[in-house]
Amino acid sequence: MVAPLREPLSTGEAKRLMGRILEAGDVRFSQHALDEMAADALDTVDGTNVLRGGVVDPPEWENGSWRYHVRTNRMCVVVAFRSPTTLVVVTAWRIT
């Protein structure tokens, strides 16, 4: 049995959980994230790479859940954890 999440997570905890979810969990992309990425000529591979190698900023409470910005020099994704095994990319954009 997996323990429920106790948010907000520290940036290090969020990064470790993202890594575990990338390896053996469920990464979902909202339609909004897909639309925003397409508008910037990005795709889910780009978003997944940001989750793997990006820096996690401190969480923010928004629209009823904790949101974590994960960024590289070229892209930012915003994720929300739905469970200890599922995360959703809420939105994403190219950094210019």
Q: 96 exposed, middle or buried (CB, 10 Å; 0-12, 13-18, 19+)? A: exposed
Average pLDDT over residues 76-92: 98
Fold exhibited by the domain 11-94: YaeB-like fold (3.30.2310)
pLDDT of 2 over the 80 cut: no
Tens digits of residue pLDDT in 35-61: 999 999 999 999 999 999 999 999 999
- pLDDT value of position 48: 98
The β-bridge relationship of strands 55-56 and 65-71 is: antiparallel
SS3 call for 91: strand
Tens digits of residue pLDDT in 18-36: 999 999 999 999 999 999 9
Rounded to two decimals, the pTM is 0.94
Taking the domains of the chain in order of start, what are their residue ranges?
11-94
